[in-house]
Copies of this chain bind each other. A is one copy, B any other.
Amino acid sequence: MGKGRIEAFSDGVIAIIITIMVLELKVPHGSDFASLRPLLPVFLSYALSFIYVGIYWNNHHHLLHAVQQVDGRAMWANLFFLFWLSLFPFATAWMGENHFTPLPTAMYGVVLLIAAVSWIPLARTLICSNGGADGVLGRALGGRGGDWKVKASLLVYALAIPLAFYLPVLSCALYALVALLWIVPDRRIELHLKHSA
């Protein structure tokens, strides 16, 4: 079973998710600066989510790059991950339109957390069907302290979610911090491919 179509389908879904988020930037009726101002938090949350979906696309690209085979299990793991990713537009718009009030900000963190958690079975399934822990992908992701970035992200999300009910601004700062951590793509796979080449 080739990986071409799973890449094409995921690219399509991720491209649509990243683009329909901009539809929440509703066109204001007035044409002065005052009518633009309430859009600022919507714009900021759009920018943050664009970065997050970009990170996931980037890592998805890296993950499948090192993969030779995709079986039925991996397809469902991929769809499971895409399902949670598809809630980004909703969570983003709710947080932005309510100007970072507690519950929407916490809910945004919950969606980030679930998406991060649903990434794990996708990576695991692909490692399993591509040589296991000793395959190229397995060694690439398992080495050098393992998935410390994944673990750190989950920890920060788990902290930021309850924090949103007291200091939602700080939660947003933490979400942005995790994004920053991931903007550097996962070079481990690239390095390993070079070493094994």
- Using a CB–CB distance below 8 Å, which chain A residues touch chain B? 1-2, 5-9, 11-20, 22-25, 27-29, 31-33, 36, 47, 50, 54, 57-58, 61, 65, 72, 75-76, 79, 82-83, 86-87, 89-90, 93-94, 97-98, 101-104, 107, 183-185, 187, 190
B87 & A22 in contact (Cβ 8 Å cutoff): yes
Instruction: Report B-chain residues with C-beta under 8 Å of the C-beta of A98.
Output: 31
B33 & A103 in contact (Cβ 8 Å cutoff): yes
A171 to chain B, nearest CB (A): 14
A18 to B22, CA, bound (A): 13
B75 & A185 in contact (Cβ 8 Å cutoff): yes
Instruction: Report B-chain residues with C-beta under 8 Å of the C-beta of A24.
Output: 27
A97 to B28, CA, bound (A): 9
Report the nearest B residue to A78, measured CB to CB.
B54
Instruction: Report B-chain residues with C-beta under 8 Å of the C-beta of A76.
Output: 54, 58, 183, 185
Known: A23-B20, A65-B1, A75-B61. A11 touches B9 (CB 8 A): yes
A100 to chain B, nearest CB (A): 10
A55 to chain B, nearest CB (A): 9
Known: A16-B16, A19-B86. A61 touches B5 (CB 8 A): yes
Instruction: Report B-chain residues with C-beta under 8 Å of the C-beta of A5.
Output: 7, 11, 61
